């Protein structure tokens, strides 16, 4: 069982095909698989459908795949940080499927758990419910949402051992575990590959069973909204 | 004088009770955190955190620690982190006692519109649809009228909905209204605002 690869390009070798569905972890620019995204840009694979809460910003994260027009469709909850996204969407070059944030996360989790559909009250009575089956329990309507079964998952963790047992750091966990779970193959990038046993087994956030390939690398970890408070005078 | 942003936030903070887990939206709702006083409130950030702390001091920003508005924040001794599926599980599962959110329009039946203006920039609903469908109590904080002076408290929403029949209480610069059978009920007038003024600024049916 060799999961550790030398580079993002090596880790993605043989996994990329035109028209595939990729689930990506991250929220905004926090916890995004930036090294794997760069390698996908380099690969030139096209007509991608990407399930990701956001689509990066202009020129960074998934925004890079917009600049090269490799994405055909996004499945997201919020895309407001990206002018190129709006331009491609309004001109009809890019398809967009809005998902409420919790529905998107649960669709990934469900797909990873072998659950093809589930009912939720989120979006009932809104445009999100259009065309979806409605079922009523105790007088409350619920709509049917489908699990996401991705061809490939790309995620980012803080540390992992060489078997893929991973821990995330603070809010960089976000969509990474459910995104990792829902792919046929999952490639994970980490800040540090650590020896087996150095992560307490009780503290592992994502068991290595969900991870097929691992790379270690340097991350830019760009901040989207830098907000601070003044230090009180002593 | 109608309430200003801070007075609206202070009034909204009165909705919170000791021990509550609460989600605050972006804008005026964010200011509510400044007015909770001695109450033991735990703030949720729906990207995956309970126990959200204040903004960091300059130089202590952490790119791995942001709120749902993508702003850098800090943790507290009580903080816990979890993935987004777990986060929305607690929202959908009714574990979050209240959400305080901004709005573009609210209707007398509790319909809420706050995510999209057709023909203009479409950014997305983020977690708003999950929150209004799942949390115990939905409190809207907003100006009573838009910049053209038109009422935002309507008989029916004109914009695409975030949720249907989800709003419990509306706090505006003019006062406080509850969604009840048949329309809205005036709970409180802002300081110096008359009932006549509030009624004139409200398109929705006011009952009682």
pLDDT digits (tens, 9 = 90+) for A51-64: 999 999 999 999 99
pLDDT 10s digits, B37-65: 999 999 999 999 999 999 999 999 999 99
Cα–Cα dist A122/A106, whole Å: 11
**Given CB atoms, is B62 within the 8 Å cutoff of chain A?**
yes
pLDDT at A119 over 80: yes
Query: Which token pair is A14?
Result: 């043989």
The whole model's pTM is what?
0.97
Rounded to a whole number, what is the distance in Å from the CA of A69 to chain B's nearest CA?
A: 20
Contact residues, A window 130-149, toward B, CB-based 8 Å cutoff: none
**What is the phi-psi region of residue A212: left when phi exceeds 0, alpha when psi lies from -120 to 50, beta otherwise?**
alpha
Question: The dihedral of CA B85, B29, A63, A103: what is its sign?
Answer: positive
Interface residue A89 vs chain B (CB under 8 A): yes
Q: Quickly tell me which residue has 């919170």 as its tokens.
A: B16
Lookup: tokens for A132: 């979806």
Tens digits of per-residue pLDDT, B68-87? 999 999 999 999 999 999 99
A and B: number of Cβ contacts within 8 A: 180
Whether B118 contacts chain A with CB within 8 A: no
| Residue % of chain B over a pLDDT of 70 | 100
Cα A214 from Cα B9, distance rounded (Å):
47
Q: If you measure CA to CA, which chain B residue comes closest to A110?
A: B85
CA distance B207 to chain A (A): 25
Query: Which of B45, B88, B160 has its CB closest to that of A106?
Result: B88
Residue A83 in tokens: 């002018």
Does A208 lie at the interface with B, CB-CB under 8 angstroms?
no
Subunit contact B72:A223, Cβ cutoff 8 A: yes
Residue carrying structure tokens 């708003």: B128
Is residue B111 within 8 Å of residue B165, measured between CB atoms?
yes
Please state which of the ranges A212-216, B70-74, B119-123, B146-150 shows the lowest mean pLDDT. B119-123
Active site residue B181: no
C-alpha–C-alpha distance, residues A189 and A164, integer Å: 10
Q: Encode burial over A130-153: b for 16+ CB neighbours within 10 A, e otherwise.
A: eebeeeeeeeeebbebebbbbbbb
Contact: B129, A126; criterion CB under 8 Å = yes
Torsion angle, alpha carbons of B57, B61, B67, B68, to 10: 130
Q: Encoding tokens for residue A58?
A: 């202009």
- Of A130-139, A222-231, B173-182, the one with minimum mean pLDDT is A222-231
How far lies A123's CA from each of A133, A141, B96, B112, B131, in Å?
Answer: 12, 10, 18, 12, 10
Greatest distance between any 2 Cα atoms in chain A: 61
Q: Are B177 and B184 in contact (CB under 8 A)?
A: yes
What does the pLDDT average to over A186-192?
Answer: 98
pLDDT band of B121, cuts 50, 70, 90: low
pLDDT-derived band of residue B122, with 50, 70 and 90 as boundaries? confident
- Residue A28 to residue B45, Cβ atoms within 8 A: no
What ipTM was assigned to the predicted interfaces of this complex? 0.96
Average pLDDT, chain B: 96
Cα angle B32-B37-B39, degrees, rounded to a multiple of 5: 95
Contacts of B180 (CB under 8 A, 6+ apart): B207, B208
């Amino acid at each position: 069982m060799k999961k550790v690869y030398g580079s993002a390009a090596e880790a993605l070798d043989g996994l990329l095909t035109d028209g595939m569905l990729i689930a990506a972890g991250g929220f905004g620019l926090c916890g995004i698989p930036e090294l794997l995204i760069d390698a996908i840009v380099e690969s030139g694979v096209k007509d991608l459908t990407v399930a990701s809460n956001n689509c990066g910003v202009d020129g960074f994260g998934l925004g890079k795949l917009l600049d090269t027009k490799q994405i055909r469709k996004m499945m997201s909850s919020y895309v407001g940080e990206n002018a190129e996204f709006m331009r491609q969407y309004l001109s009809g070059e890019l398809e967009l499927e809005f998902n409420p944030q919790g529905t998107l996360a649960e669709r990934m989790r469900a797909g990873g758990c072998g659950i093809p559909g589930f009912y939720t009250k989120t979006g009932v009575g809104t445009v999100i419910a259009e065309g979806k089956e409605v079922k009523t329990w105790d007088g409350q309507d619920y709509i049917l949402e489908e699990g996401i079964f991705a061809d490939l998952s790309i995620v980012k963790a803080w540390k992992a051992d060489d078997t893929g047992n991973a821990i995330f750091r603070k809010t960089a966990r976000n969509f990474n575990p459910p995104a990792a779970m829902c792919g046929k193959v999952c490639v994970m990038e980490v800040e540090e590959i650590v020896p087996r046993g150095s992560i307490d087994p009780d503290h592992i956030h994502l068991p290595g069973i969900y991870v097929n390939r691992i790379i270690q690398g340097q991350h830019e970890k760009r901040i989207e909204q830098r907000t601070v408070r003044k230090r009180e005078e002593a | 004088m109608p309430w200003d942003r801070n007075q609206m936030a202070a009034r909204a903070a009165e909705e919170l009770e000791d021990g509550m887990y609460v989600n605050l939206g972006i804008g005026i709702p964010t200011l509510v955190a400044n007015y909770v006083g001695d109450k033991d409130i735990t703030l949720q950030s729906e990207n995956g955190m309970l126990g959200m702390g204040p903004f960091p001091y300059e130089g202590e920003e952490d790119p791995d620690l942001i709120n749902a508005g993508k702003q850098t924040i800090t943790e507290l001794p009580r903080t816990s982190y979890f993935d987004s599926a777990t986060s929305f599980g607690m929202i959908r599962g009714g574990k979050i006692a209240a959400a305080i959110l901004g709005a573009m329009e609210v209707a007398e039946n509790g319909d809420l519109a706050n995510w999209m203006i057709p023909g203009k920039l479409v950014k997305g609903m983020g977690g708003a649809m999950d929150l209004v469908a799942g949390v115990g109590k939905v409190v809207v904080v907003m100006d009573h009228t838009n910049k053209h002076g038109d009422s935002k408290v309507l008989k029916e929403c004109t914009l695409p909905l975030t949720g249907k029949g989800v709003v419990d209480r509306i706090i505006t610069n003019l006062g406080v209204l509850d969604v009840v059978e048949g329309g809205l009920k005036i709970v409180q007038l802002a300081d110096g605002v008359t009932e006549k003024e509030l009624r004139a600024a409200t398109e929705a049916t006011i009952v009682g």
